């Protein structure tokens, strides 16, 4: 218990109906007119719920009082209440809904606009937790939170950016929210985050997943291709992300090409995507393999008859790859075939990369890394 605490109960003592004595004291103090007692009670709620899920149901009755504290003029008061509410909401769907229903969104929105960086982070973390509830998603978007979360994604601490991303991802699963996220111009900060984070990270997975969802709208596809290095950032995830991230990345590019093959085929090919796609047909998840093969077919021929790489190579290797690689020897055959595929496509891909390097486009280092990658096969 914190030093100077007013509470005399202990965590183990219970009353006649099985409720810990300290819980009864806290619930009495949270209703006090004394601001100091309310702050102390909120801090005790946070402490008791931080590591013990069993206390969360006991304090559901304190939610309305805690939400009321968010409207206080005292930073100590609303900060203590916000941290307590955060703990009450974690892994508790009922509490998540109750917090929103009690009117927490309005003060949380004001906190997102605050110049206090800590308060902005706490509010972002709270919205991340609350947005995990399907019932809360439309209410959060209606509150005007999405443009503010995009602003956090654009200009905040690394931790706040990640939490804003996760909150936006949660909200994006409600279909109507995708257009709101796009209207807030989320593609640019998403691309910047994708460029800066580790390709194997969970952040990359969520970022790639959100981008794939946003590319189902024409505004998203236009924004990605208009962003310098936007398509390239997705291609790099396709090459070196986690298995799940690569699945989202190839899905994003496939969505683009399916929506308007003539418009996006050259855009995708210019980023040297072929080696990564060929590798994915062997080493990706089942969904990735299927999507990669479909995308390769869409990229194979130009509508005007230009061949970007040999059609018979795709037909003989890509289209038959599943039937040719079976049993215990799958790994060895896959590696051999992969080397052949990458060698066949490398001359074309390197030409694209060299052209891009000459005009000063980003990530020229991929030219040498790609060369070393092939030579090591």
Tell me the domain boundaries of the chain: 1-103
Alpha-carbon gap, residue 299 to 57, rounded angstroms: 55
pLDDT at 330: 45
What are 311-362's pLDDT values in tens digits?
A: 444 444 444 443 444 444 444 544 555 555 555 455 445 545 555 555 444 4
Using alpha carbons, select from 154, 158, 156, 177 the residue that is nearest to residue 111.
156
Count of beta carbons in the 10 Å neighbourhood of residue 157: 14
**What average pLDDT does this structure show over 189-213?**
96
Q: Is the pLDDT of residue 372 over 90?
A: no
Which of 185 and 283 is assigned the larger pLDDT? 185
Instruction: Return the higher-pLDDT residue of 1 and 184.
Output: 184
Q: What pLDDT does 19 receive?
A: 66
- Tell me: pLDDT of 29 over 80: yes
Query: What's the whole-number average pLDDT of the chain?
Result: 83
The SS3 assignment for 26 reads: helix
Average pLDDT, integer, range 40-51 = 93
Give the model confidence (pLDDT) of 128-149 as tens digits: 999 999 999 999 999 999 999 9
pLDDT for 300: 80
In contact, 273 and 237? CB cutoff 8 Å: no
Query: Could you give the angle at which helices 202-214 and 158-172 cross, rounded to 10 degrees?
Result: 40
In angstroms, the Cα distances linking 269 to 31, 223, 235, 301 are: 64, 18, 10, 11
* pLDDT on residue 175: 87
pLDDT tens-place string over residues 237-291: 999 999 999 999 999 999 999 999 999 999 999 999 999 999 999 889 999 999 9
pLDDT at res. 350 = 54
d(CA 305, CA 297): 14
What's residue 57's pLDDT? 87
User: Quick one: pLDDT at residue 361?
Assistant: 45
Cβ(282)–Cβ(325) under 8 Å?
yes
Query: What's the rounded Cα separation, in Å, for the pair 325 and 153?
Result: 43
> What confidence score (pLDDT) does residue 125 get?
97
Q: What architecture is domain 1-103?
A: Alpha Horseshoe (1.25)
What is residue 332's predicted lDDT score, i.e. its pLDDT?
A: 52
Q: 20 forms bridges with which residues in the sheet?
A: 14
This prediction's pTM? 0.80
Mean pLDDT of all residues in 163-189: 97
CA dist list (Å): 101 to 28, 57, 63:
22, 17, 10
Q: Which of 35, 36, 9 is nearest to 20 (CA)?
A: 9
Q: With pLDDT > 70 as the criterion, what percentage of the chain qualifies?
A: 75
In this predicted structure, what is the pLDDT of residue 312?
42
53 — pLDDT class (breaks 50, 70, 90)? confident
Q: What is the pLDDT of residues 284-311, one digit of tens each?
A: 999 999 999 999 999 986 444 334 444 4
What is each CA distance from 77 to 69, 73, 74, 88, in whole angstroms? 6, 8, 5, 17
Give the list of residues 6+ apart from residue 145 with CB closer than 8 angstroms, or none: 105, 108, 109, 112, 127, 167, 171
Cα separation, 279 vs 343, whole angstroms = 11
């Amino acid at each position: 218990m914190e030093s100077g605490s007013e509470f005399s109960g202990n965590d183990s003592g219970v009353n006649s109906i099985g409720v810990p004595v300290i819980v009864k004291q806290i619930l009495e103090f949270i209703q006090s007119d004394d601001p100091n007692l309310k702050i102390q009670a909120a801090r005790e709620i946070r402490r008791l719920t931080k590591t013990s899920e069993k206390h969360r149901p006991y304090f559901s009755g304190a939610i309305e009082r805690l939400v009321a504290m968010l409207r206080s003029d005292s930073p100590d008061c609303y900060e203590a209440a916000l941290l307590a509410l955060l703990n009450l909401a974690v892994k508790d769907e009922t509490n998540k809904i109750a917090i929103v229903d009690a009117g927490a969104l309005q003060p949380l929105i004001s906190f997102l606009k605050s110049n206090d960086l800590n308060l902005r982070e706490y509010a972002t973390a709270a919205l991340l937790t609350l947005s995990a509830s399907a019932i809360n998603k439309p209410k959060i978007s209606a509150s005007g939170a999405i443009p503010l979360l995009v602003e956090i994604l654009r200009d905040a601490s690394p931790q706040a950016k990640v939490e804003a991303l996760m909150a936006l991802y949660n909200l994006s699963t409600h279909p109507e929210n995708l257009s709101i996220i796009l209207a807030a111009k989320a593609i640019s900060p998403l691309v910047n985050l994708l460029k800066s984070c580790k390709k194997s990270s969970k952040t990359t997975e969520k970022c790639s997943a959100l981008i794939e969802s946003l590319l189902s709208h024409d505004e998203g596809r236009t924004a990605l291709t208009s962003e310098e290095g936007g398509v390239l950032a997705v291609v790099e995830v396709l090459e070196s992300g986690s298995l799940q991230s690569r699945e989202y990345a190839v899905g994003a590019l496939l969505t683009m090409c399916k929506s308007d093959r003539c418009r996006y085929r050259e855009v995708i090919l210019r980023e040297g995507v072929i080696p990564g796609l060929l590798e994915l047909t062997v080493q990706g998840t089942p969904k990735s393999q299927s999507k990669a093969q479909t995308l390769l077919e869409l990229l194979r021929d130009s509508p005007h008859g230009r061949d970007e790489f040999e059609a018979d190579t795709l037909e003989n290797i890509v289209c038959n790859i599943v039937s040719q690689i079976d049993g215990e020897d799958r790994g060895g055959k896959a590696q051999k075939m992969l080397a052949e595929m990458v060698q066949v496509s490398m001359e074309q891909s390197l030409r694209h990369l060299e052209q891009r390097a000459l005009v000063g486009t980003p990530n020229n280092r991929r030219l040498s890394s790609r060369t070393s990658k092939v030579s090591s096969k």
